[in-house]
């Protein structure tokens, strides 16, 4: 499973990228706002830092304007994936931009029917939002599984990009189900390395090592 980092903070991306943990980056208007940076400037910087796809989201609501914004964003770098919302206008924009040869990430997906339409429209990525479904007492992971089944049934190339991941259990379940990609905040990716038995085992080893009075360096 590919790891995309869901942030527009350059330092956080760089830290994980140095460890080989970054296969791509996703941004959205909210993350750009939090960064306090100009969207074109920060998107260019991120696209130069990582080799994989960098999702940059349009903010227009009409298809023609989405297409124009998407083309401008895609011109920033070859690894830009234009992010469009899963609306009828967004699907129209997806179809045009995909036919132009650009990567397209269709976001704000909350149903398998929506995901099927995105694949038909030529989406490179579909972004189902797990956490936001969980917030309203629906099973976000069940949606990932349903999309996986549908795409496998018909051989769609669209990659499932599990989004709105909030916990390490979300990450594990997405990998188990077979999501192609997950995008998560840096803190969730880092938390995947944590386990209380690892901490306890390390403490025991260090206590025993101290008793030997030895040094390696």
Start-to-end C-alpha separation, the chain: 38
Model pLDDT for residues 138-190, shown as the tens digit of each residue: 999 999 999 999 999 999 999 999 999 999 999 999 999 999 999 999 999 99
What pTM did the predictor assign?
0.95
If we measure between CA atoms, which residue out of 105, 181, 169, 106 comes closest to residue 140?
Answer: 169
What does the alpha-carbon distance between residue 48 and residue 150 come to, in Å, rounded to a whole number?
35
Active-site choice (83, 92, 190, 200): 83
Model pLDDT for residues 23-67, shown as the tens digit of each residue: 999 999 999 999 999 999 999 999 999 999 999 999 999 999 999
If we measure between CA atoms, which residue out of 116, 46, 122, 113 comes closest to residue 84?
Answer: 122
What does residue 134 show for φ and ψ, rounded to 5 degrees?
-60, -35
> Among this protein's residues, is 120 annotated catalytic?
no
What does the alpha-carbon distance between residue 115 and residue 56 come to, in Å, rounded to a whole number?
19
Model pLDDT for residues 112-147, shown as the tens digit of each residue: 999 999 999 999 999 999 999 999 999 999 999 999
């Amino acid at each position: 499973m590919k790891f995309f980092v869901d942030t527009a903070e350059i330092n956080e991306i760089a830290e994980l990228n140095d460890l080989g943990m970054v296969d791509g980056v996703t941004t959205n208007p909210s993350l750009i706002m939090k960064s306090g940076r100009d969207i074109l400037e920060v998107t260019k910087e991120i696209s130069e830092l990582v080799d994989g796809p960098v999702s940059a989201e349009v903010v227009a609501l009409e298809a023609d304007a989405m297409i124009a914004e998407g083309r401008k964003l895609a011109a920033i770098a070859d690894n830009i994936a234009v992010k469009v919302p899963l609306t009828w206008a967004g699907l129209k924009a997806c179809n045009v931009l995909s036919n132009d040869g650009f990567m397209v990430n269709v976001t704000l997906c909350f149903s398998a029917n929506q995901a099927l339409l995105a694949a038909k429209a030529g989406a490179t990525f579909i972004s189902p939002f797990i956490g936001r479904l969980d917030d309203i007492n629906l099973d976000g992971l069940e949606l990932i599984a349903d999309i996986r089944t549908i795409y496998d049934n018909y051989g769609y190339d669209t990659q499932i990009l599990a989004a709105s991941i909030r916990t390490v259990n979300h990450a594990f379940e997405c990998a188990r189900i077979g999501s192609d990609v997950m995008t998560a905040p840096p803190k969730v990716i880092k938390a995947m390395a944590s386990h209380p038995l690892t901490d306890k085992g390390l403490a025991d080893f260090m206590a025993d090592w101290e008793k030997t009075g030895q040094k390696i360096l």
